[in-house]
């Protein structure tokens, strides 16, 4: 058999049983000496292992590095271990962990993962852990770390054979998949640096991600190496900006402390995911707060109460400036028409562009309040706790606990909710969350729900119907998540650790930075796109021109002196022109598609204009039913018209369709960017339209039978 040599470094904190583990490896040849130039003891083992399946024999050289709590230079042992890891040639690392003190040991694991080397984590003293009632889910921990995790006992020799097999298996891998996931603001800066290296085609001995991390950690060796490189001139401003951003979020300028906090959050989060949590006696204020907020009985009610309060504030306080904003854009539209007259240009600017921009800006106060509340909850460290609390429930539907943040945001507006999926590091979790976000009814759909609930249900029941719509939508989203996990994004969801940061008081500067950035992003991305979409809808609803129809109706209007009759004729003219427009023709063309649901072409057109912005649906229905554009969800005349023209089964089917079908154009644009391509938008359109049609069909026919 061919003999291959594998060099392994054994690394761990003091007193984790590395020496006992080495002694448990049979046929070991032990060599003891000192590391070059220092008095620190060096232990080396050479052993043989035969891989019968691969018909190959391996000579495994294991170097036992001095015990180190971290990769710092505080002690001679730590300095020797760090220097050896960074500068010597070797094939893989065995990180030995004390199973009875998992969280403390994972601090070193986090630092080792930053090196970008092949690695195995050994949970040593597993027999002692079990004796203390500690059960560790090694499979889950292995998924989180993306490296093999082997439970061993040097005393009973449990897991030794599995360890030898794992050494050979990892050695054969071309590269490691392991990586530590940091807080979102650090991940954002890593992503920027990696993108920079990719664009420059920079040649590096270590992966771009690990290079970026070592730069952010102000690694002296990397700085010295890259300082002489021409790329350094362009890289330096990016590094300064990245570090300033990190300093702002953490309120610290000591990068070692910042990353130490990150390692602590990672270690605590990993421990909580793989060990069954028990309400142990609180030792400090953080544990006391956690025992309340992560309590299995009180945790979720506390969260629901806080979110209920946040949503009430969002809509109560947000409603105050909405009237002023609406009035301002209405005034702007009127002044534009007064200045430019009643021509096509005036109509385009006032009805199309100003109306479109106003539709976005109108909801900006709600967005700011919602982001402010979420930013406060996130920066204090509370959101991470809720994500952990909901993780078990969400896993049942193929999602991660962190998915709840974008899902909750989706009740306000789908645009920022799509952006919030960046907090999900697993691609499959992110994609599933992106695909189901439309099931969370955004605030723009509220006018439609209020209109139909008011028309077809008693006033006392309308509020309950509205609440029911939101609950059903959320449950449908979770069911679709499970279906997507089973049939599209197959396999188990990819677990990743939820960081458990320390509680801290958020700074006003940080809150401003987060809220301003999100609001600016909302306006720039959504505002510009919806402006174009509104202009297109205006064009489609105003062309082609029908001079004969206009002439006939204008003649009838001038012939009557009755003002009410004149208003009625103008409303009929608007409806007739819309029916003959491109938009009306599209409605007529798609009528067969909607016919099995009980919808006529008018409801079809309303849904189609809702693709631009859901706020447009109510005003479109007003035009179609000859009431003019100036109608609202509270308009009694429109509610009466709907009641006269539609049956309850049709109304319920329409509500279901609105609840499920694809969000507005602005959301679609952001979805494409976050999902990574236009083809995903095609999949989303097909999925939501199909589900909306099927559920509306069932609702329509079932209600016809029951009512």
Which SS3 state, helix, strand or coil, does residue 151 take? strand
* Strands of 149-151's sheet in order across: 29-34, 41-51, 56-64, 2-12, 92-98, 119-124, 149-151
Cβ atoms of residues 348 and 337 within 8 Å: no
For the chain, domains (ranges, CATH) are 2-172 (3.40.50.300), 184-276 (1.10.287), 299-511 (no CATH)
Which SS3 state, helix, strand or coil, does residue 652 take? helix
| 345/88: higher pLDDT | 88
- The burial class, CB within 10 Å (0-12 / 13-18 / 19+), for 3 is exposed
pLDDT band at 553 (very low <50, low <70, confident <90, very high): confident
For residue 96, the surrounding DSSP H or E stretch is: strand 92-98
Pairing of strands 149-151, 119-124: parallel
pLDDT band at 690 (very low <50, low <70, confident <90, very high): very high
pLDDT band at 494 (very low <50, low <70, confident <90, very high): low
| 318/552: higher pLDDT | 552
Dihedral angle, C-alpha 167, 173, 174, 180, nearest 10 ° = -80
pLDDT tens per residue across span 118-172: 999 999 989 888 888 888 999 989 988 889 999 998 788 888 889 988 998 999 8
pTM of the model: 0.59
Q: What is the mean pLDDT of the chain?
A: 81
The percent of residues above 90 in pLDDT, for the chain, comes to 20
For residue 366, the surrounding DSSP H or E stretch is: helix 364-379
C-alpha distances in Å from residue 268, one per residue of 273, 315, 423, 530: 9, 36, 18, 43
pLDDT of 560 above 60 = yes
* Rounded distance between C-alpha atoms, residue 143 and residue 502, angstroms: 25
pLDDT tens per residue across span 271-281: 888 886 454 55
* Rounded distance between C-alpha atoms, residue 597 and residue 694, angstroms: 9
What value does the mean pLDDT take over residues 64-75?
82
* Rounded distance between C-alpha atoms, residue 162 and residue 423, angstroms: 35
Cβ atoms of residues 505 and 380 within 8 Å: yes
C-alpha distances in Å from residue 419, one per residue of 291, 379, 470, 613: 31, 17, 21, 18
* Rounded distance between C-alpha atoms, residue 576 and residue 590, angstroms: 18
Strands (DSSP E) contained in 99-145 are: 119-124
| CA–centroid distance for 574 within its chain | 43
Neighbours of 461 (CB within 10 A): 12
Which SS3 state, helix, strand or coil, does residue 276 take? coil
Question: CA angle 37-38-41, nearest 5°?
Answer: 125
* Rounded distance between C-alpha atoms, residue 663 and residue 654, angstroms: 15
Give rounded-to-5 percent helix, strand, coil for the chain. Answer: 65, 10, 25
pLDDT tens per residue across span 628-665: 444 555 556 777 888 888 999 999 999 999 999 998 88
Pairing of strands 41-51, 29-34: antiparallel
Residues 6 or more apart whose CB falls under 8 angstroms from that of 621 comprise 451, 602, 606, 631, 638, 642
Segment among 294-298, 312-316, 379-383, 515-519 with least mean pLDDT:
312-316
What value does the mean pLDDT take over residues 254-262?
89
Which SS3 state, helix, strand or coil, does residue 190 take? helix
pLDDT tens per residue across span 504-546: 777 777 788 778 877 776 676 556 665 676 677 778 877 888 8
What pLDDT is attached to residue 491? 59
């Amino acid at each position: 058999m061919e003999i291959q040599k594998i060099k392994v470094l054994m690394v761990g904190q003091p007193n984790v049983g590395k020496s006992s583990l080495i002694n448990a490896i049979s046929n070991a040849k032990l060599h003891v000496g000192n590391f070059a130039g220092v008095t620190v003891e060096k232990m080396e083992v050479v052993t043989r292992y035969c891989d019968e399946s691969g018909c190959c024999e391996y000579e495994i050289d294991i170097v036992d590095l001095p015990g180190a709590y971290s990769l710092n230079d505080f002690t001679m042992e730590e300095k020797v271990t760090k220097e050896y890891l960074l500068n010597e040639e070797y094939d893989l690392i065995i990180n030995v962990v004390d199973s009875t003190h998992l969280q403390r040991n994972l601090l070193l694991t986090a630092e080792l993962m930053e090196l970008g080397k092949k690695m195995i984590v050994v949970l040593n003293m597993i027999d002692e852990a079990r004796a203390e009632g500690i059960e560790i889910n090694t499979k889950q921990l292995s998924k989180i770390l993306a490296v093999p995790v082997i439970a061993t006992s040097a005393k009973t020799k449990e897991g030794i054979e599995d360890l030898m097999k794992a050494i050979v298996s990892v050695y054969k891998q071309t590269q490691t998949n392991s990586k530590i996931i940091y807080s979102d603001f650090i991940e954002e800066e890593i992503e920027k640096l990696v993108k920079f290296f990719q664009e420059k085609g920079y040649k590096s001995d270590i992966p771009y991600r690990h290079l970026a991390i070592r730069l952010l950690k102000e690694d002296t060796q990397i700085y010295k190496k890259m300082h002489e490189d021409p790329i350094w001139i362009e890289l330096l401003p990016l590094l300064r900006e990245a570090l300033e951003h990190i300093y702002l979020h953490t309120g610290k300028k000591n990068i070692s402390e910042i990353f130490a906090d990150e390692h602590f959050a990672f270690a605590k989060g990993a421990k909580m995911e793989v060990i069954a949590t028990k309400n142990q006696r609180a030792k400090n204020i953080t544990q006391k707060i956690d025992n309340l907020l992560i309590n299995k009985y009180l945790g979720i009610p506390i969260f629901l109460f806080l979110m209920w309060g946040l949503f009430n504030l969002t809509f109560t306080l947000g409603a105050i400036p909405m009237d002023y904003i609406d009035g301002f854009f209405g005034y702007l539209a009127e002044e534009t028409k007064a200045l430019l007259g009643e021509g096509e240009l005036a109509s385009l600017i006032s009805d199309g562009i100003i109306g479109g921009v106003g539709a976005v800006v109108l909801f900006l106060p709600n967005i700011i309040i919602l982001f402010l509340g979420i930013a406060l909850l996130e920066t204090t460290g509370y959101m991470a706790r809720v994500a952990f609390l909901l993780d078990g429930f969400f896993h049942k539907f193929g999602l991660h606990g962190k998915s709840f943040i974008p899902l909750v945001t989706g009740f306000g507006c789908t645009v920022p909710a799509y952006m919030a999926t960046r907090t999900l590091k697993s691609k499959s979790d992110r994609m599933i969350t992106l695909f189901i976000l439309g099931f969370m009814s955004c605030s723009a759909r509220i006018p439609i729900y209020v209109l139909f609930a008011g028309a077809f249900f008693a006033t006392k029941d309308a509020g309950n119907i509205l609440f029911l719509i939101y609950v059903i939508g959320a449950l449908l989203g979770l069911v679709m998540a499970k279906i997507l996990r089973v049939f599209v994004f197959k396999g188990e969801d990819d677990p990743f650790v939820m960081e458990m940061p320390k509680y801290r008081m958020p700074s006003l500067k940080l809150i401003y930075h987060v809220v301003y950035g999100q609001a600016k992003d909302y306006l720039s991305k959504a505002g510009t796109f919806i402006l174009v979409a509104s202009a297109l809808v205006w064009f489609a609803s105003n062309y082609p021109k029908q001079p004969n129809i206009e002439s006939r109706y204008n003649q009838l209007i001038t012939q009557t002196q009755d003002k009410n009759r004149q208003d009625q004729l103008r409303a009929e003219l608007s409806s007739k022109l819309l029916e003959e427009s491109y938009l009306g023709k599209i409605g007529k063309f798609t009528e067969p598609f909607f016919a099995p649901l009980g919808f006529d072409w008018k409801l079809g057109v309303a849904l189609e204009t809702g693709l631009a912005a859901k706020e447009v649906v109510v005003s479109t229905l007003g035009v179609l039913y000859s009431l003019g554009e100036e109608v609202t969800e509270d308009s009694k005349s429109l509610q009466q018209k709907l009641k006269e023209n539609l049956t309850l089964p049709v109304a319920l089917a329409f509500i279901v369709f609105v609840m499920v079908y694809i969000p507005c154009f602005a959301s679609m644009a952001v979805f494409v960017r976050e999902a990574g391509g236009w083809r995903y938008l095609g999949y989303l359109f097909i999925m939501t339209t199909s589900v909306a049609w099927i559920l509306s069909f069932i609702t329509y026919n079932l209600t016809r039978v029951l009512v």
